[in-house]
């Protein structure tokens, strides 16, 4: 899998933030976490990107706001075996 620069801006007591971090760990993706509740300069960095809420995930130059599993997968190049699978064979009953 390609290496990506992944930075996740989080805040305290944010369940969506925890979901993003859990999925990244599950997919074995290295990331840098920046908690805006603990470090004021991280909040300023986020504001400079015109983003004012968490979670905010930056993958290379693309941002994913909130917890969007399918968009995270697509941006990271992870094949999604979800509901929109391509199939080679069509079965009729």
The two three-digit tokens of residue 32, written as one number: 């840098």
Q: What is the mean pLDDT of the chain?
A: 88
The pLDDT confidence band at residue 1, using thresholds 50, 70 and 90, is: very low
Domain boundaries defined on the chain: 6-76
Q: What are the residues whose beta carbons fall under 8 Å from the beta carbon of 33, sequence distance 6 or more?
A: 7, 8, 10, 21
Could you tell me the two tokens for 10? Answer: 């989080």
Q: 35 forms bridges with which residues in the sheet?
A: 10
**Contact yes or no for 3/31 (Cβ under 8 A):** no
CATH hierarchy code of domain 6-76? 3.40.30.10
pTM of the model: 0.82
Q: pLDDT of 41-65, one tens digit each?
A: 999 999 999 999 999 999 998 999 9
Residue 58's pLDDT is what? 97
């Amino acid at each position: 899998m390609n290496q990506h620069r992944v930075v996740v801006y989080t805040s305290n007591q944010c369940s969506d933030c925890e979901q993003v971090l859990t999925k990244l760990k599950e997919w074995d993706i290295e990331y840098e976490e920046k908690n805006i509740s603990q470090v004021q300069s991280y909040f300023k960095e986020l504001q400079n990107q015109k983003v004012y809420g968490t979670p905010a995930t930056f993958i290379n130059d693309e941002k994913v706001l909130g917890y969007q599993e399918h968009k995270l997968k697509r941006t990271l190049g992870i094949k999604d075996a979800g509901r929109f699978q391509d199939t080679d064979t069509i079965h009729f009953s």
